[in-house]
Structures are given as structure tokens and as C-alpha cells.
Amino acid sequence: MNLETIDWQALERLRHTYLAGTAGNADYWRNLNDLDSYNQTFAQRIGWKWDYVLEDLQQLGWTPPKAEVLDWGCGSGVAGRAFLDQFGADTVTGLRVWDRSSLAMDFAMKTARKRFPELSVQSGLPEAPSILLLSHVLTELTPEQTDELANFVAKAEVVIWVEPGTYESSLTLIAIRERLRSQFSVIAPCPHAEQCGILAPGNERHWCHHFASPPPGIFTDPDWSKFANLMGIDLRSLPVSYLVMDKRPRAAMSAETYRVIGRARVYKAHAQFLACNRCGVKEYELHKRDFASVFKQVKKGNVAPLQEWQVTGERITGITTRADEEAADEDDSASE
Ligand SMILES: C[S@@+](CC[C@H](N)C(=O)[O-])C[C@H]1O[C@@H](n2cnc3c(N)ncnc32)[C@H](O)[C@@H]1O
């Protein structure tokens, strides 16, 4: 972040427009400096959410097809850059950006060309997108525009859609998943391709969201503190909802795979998780006396998003240890 170049008034205006829910009404990018200020601040936070989602895809062993990437509603272009950073610019045939703002497309193209000089970068909408990236666009679309966008998404080969982890965004993504799941393989976050378990009776208060982690350095960085104070933002919290679908077939996950939703609630002798698997979305309990070292990690906030559990009723009775848990266990015993 370069404080000298940040237009704080522009950021305050953007934040106000977002909070008032009026961002969809008209193009709010006034000049390239607006985009640069956004790119150094809000877009960084969105980039950490993308890193979380892309890391999840890597853990799942998913790789993109060799095709063109379209960043729809690109803003400053953080989604396209995060994707290319993760998979490599040489794994795709090019990057296309699209936004209702031509200033945004110019900014996104310029920054992508600088970062990936070998890559073909252009703007505009193809008839049918190949790898479609969508990031933080839902709150700016009317229901009719969302409907139209879902029709466009249906034409894609792959869609990676990242939104704020709010109730409204999550429920909209779930509705889009329900509408399109017969045409795609569902890759993430769902460990199954059936109807979303959040939609089951009794789960009305839940939504599908997860938490990305910001780089630890920002908590001691005075520039990020200034940003957080001025914008009224809690730097620690990065809630994210996302949906990844692919037209290519995909092997089903094991019936023992669970996706943890939200944060675990930790009590004295047990932890409670809301988790999703092919049997639905339910609360599960991990008891300290069953899994002392795992419980200790959970207390520290170390919970791998995907778990392999055996359960009896609501109680977790078996955990198939994953590599990251083994590493956590080693850390744990080293610090004792
Ligand atoms: C909150 S910004 C997100 C930008 C970027 N995707 C990111 O994650 O940082 C939303 C973007 O969607 C664009 N947008 C809003 N409505 C749009 C529409 N109907 N068609 C295309 N772009 C739109 C805005 O101009 C803005 O750049």
C-alpha cells in the first residue's frame, strides 16, 4: 500500500455507496486513481479471499482447462490476477476483462499486461465464456441482471464465483447452483452434487460461508490500521461465499468428506461444527476426550475446511488424518 497515492475520499465514497446498497445504480468509477486506491485496499482483501478459494481448488487437485479466462465485472482486475498467479499465465490462452465501466477495463488490462507481459489481454464479452471468474458483483445487480448473468454462466466451461460471505450473497449463489447443477459438475465448496443442504427445512438461519485469512503482517502495518479505522473495517474478518463448477466430469467425493461451514464453536469439553456432506448440513460435535490434540488445534482456530470424519449421530467418532493436521500435530508437540 502506498499511502501517498490513496484517495481516501474516493474510498469513503465507494464504501458509502456499497453500504447504502446503491452501487448498482450507476457507474461509480470516476477516474483511474479511484481504481488504483481500490486496488491497493479493498481489492487486496478480495484477493486474499481468492487465494483461499484457489488454495482450496489446489487441495482438491482441480486444474483449469487450457482456455481463455474472462473476469466479468472486473473492477481493478484482482480476480484475474489471483487466478493467473495461482495457476500460471502459461496455463491459459489469454485473459479477457469485462465491466460496465470502460475505466475499470482499462485499469484491469493495464495491470494484467504489466504483471503478465507474455499474455494476450483484451476486453469485451465472448459469446460463450470458457473460464468465467466472477467476484463481488451480486450486490450491484438487480434480480433481472442476476438472472441474465446466470444464463451467461450456463454457457461457461468453468465458473469460479467469489462473493462476500453474507446471508444474501450465499443464498443467491445457492439458488444459482440449484439452477445450474444439472449442467455442471459441482467442484467446491460442496462435497456432493445433490441439492444444497442449507435449503433443507430447519436450516433457514444458516448460510454457506467460510473465512479466509489475511496475511499476518497487516495487523502490525500502520497503513492497514489507518485503512481499517477510516473505513470501519475489521481486518481480521474475511468471510467468503463461493461456488466453483466445471462442465468436465468429476469423481464423486467419499461419503465421509465434510466441509466445515463458518467457524467452529468451542466449549470447555467439546467443539461444535456446522458441516456439509452428501447427507445434508448438520451440527457435529468433537469431544475433547475423544480427540485431545485435534481439539487443541480447533481451540487455536486451526480447522482444515475439508474433513474426513466418521460420525455416530452428531458425534465425530473417527477422523482420517489429513497431511495438514499431521503438520499441526507436529507443531503442537514441538511447542509442548
Ligand atoms: C465491487 S466491484 C468488484 C470488482 C472486482 N470484481 C473485485 O472483486 O474487486 C463490482 C464491479 O462490477 C461492475 N458492475 C456492476 N454492475 C455491472 C454490470 N451490470 N455489468 C458489468 N459490470 C458491472 C462495477 O463497475 C464494478 O467494477
Q: Ligand 1 centre from 27 Cα, in Å?
A: 9
pLDDT(111) > 60: yes
Question: E strands within 73-157?
Answer: 94-98, 121-123, 131-135
pLDDT tens digit sequence for 252-293: 999 999 999 999 999 999 999 999 999 999 999 999 999 999
pLDDT(330) > 80: no
| Selection from 263, 268, 280, 289 nearest residue 314 by Cα | 280
**Length of the chain in residues, anyone?**
336
Q: Ligand 1 centre from 99 Cα, in Å?
A: 6
Residue nearest to atom 8 of ligand 1 (CA): 135
Ligand 1 first shell, C-beta below 6 A = 24, 27, 43, 46, 73-76, 78-79, 99-101, 104, 135-137, 140-141, 145
- The pLDDT of residue 3 is 77
Q: Ligand 1 centre from 201 Cα, in Å?
A: 34
Q: Ligand 1 centre from 67 Cα, in Å?
A: 23
Residue 72 to residue 156: CA distance in whole angstroms: 12
- The pLDDT of residue 112 is 98
Mean pLDDT of 212-223: 94
Residue 49 to residue 270: CA distance in whole angstroms: 29
- Of the residues 15, 96, 99, which should be mutated to test ligand 1's pocket, given the most ligand atoms within 8 Å of the CB? 99
Mean pLDDT of 158-175: 98
Q: Ligand 1 centre from 154 Cα, in Å?
A: 19
Query: Which of 280-288's residues contact partners 24+ apart within 8 Å by CB, and which partners?
Result: 280/197, 280/200, 281/196, 281/197, 281/198, 281/200, 281/203, 281/206, 282/197, 282/314, 283/314, 284/258, 284/309, 284/311, 284/314, 284/315, 284/316, 285/314, 285/315, 285/316, 286/316, 287/315, 287/316
Ligand 1 atom showing the smallest separation from residue 18 Cα: 1
- The pLDDT of residue 60 is 96
Residue indicated by cell numbers 455416530: 312
The cell numbers describing 183, all together, are 449442467
pLDDT(326) > 80: no
C-alpha pair distances (Å), 288 with each of 103, 212, 317: 54, 26, 11
76 with 38: CB under 8 angstroms?
Answer: yes
Mean pLDDT score across all residues of the chain? 94
Residue nearest to atom 2 of ligand 1 (CA): 75
Q: Ligand 1 centre from 148 Cα, in Å?
A: 15
Q: How confident is the model at residue 336 (pLDDT cuts 50, 70, 90)?
A: very low
C-alpha pair distances (Å), 240 with each of 49, 77, 185, 211, 276: 6, 18, 21, 6, 16
What type of residue sits at position 248? R
Q: Ligand 1 centre from 174 Cα, in Å?
A: 20
Which domains can be identified in the chain, with CATH numbers? Answer: 3-246 (3.40.50.150), 257-334 (no CATH)
What type of residue sits at position 44? Q
pLDDT tens digit sequence for 167-208: 999 999 999 999 999 999 999 999 999 999 999 999 999 999
Q: Ligand 1 centre from 25 Cα, in Å?
A: 11
Residue 83 to residue 266: CA distance in whole angstroms: 34
210 with 240: CB under 8 angstroms?
Answer: yes
- The pLDDT of residue 139 is 95
- Of the residues 81, 98, 140, 169, which should be mutated to test ligand 1's pocket, given the most ligand atoms within 8 Å of the CB? 140
Residue 175's SS3 state is helix
* Between residues 73 and 335, the one the model is more confident about: 73
The cell numbers describing 118, all together, are 507474455
- The pLDDT of residue 321 is 64
Q: How confident is the model at residue 322 (pLDDT cuts 50, 70, 90)?
A: low
Q: Ligand 1 centre from 322 Cα, in Å?
A: 38
- Of the residues 76, 78, 83, 100, which should be mutated to test ligand 1's pocket, given the most ligand atoms within 8 Å of the CB? 100
Phi, psi of 87, deg, nearest 5: -95, -15
* Between residues 322 and 271, the one the model is more confident about: 271
Residues with Cβ within 8 Å of 212's Cβ and at least 6 positions away in sequence, in order, are 48, 49, 51, 52, 53, 238, 239, 240
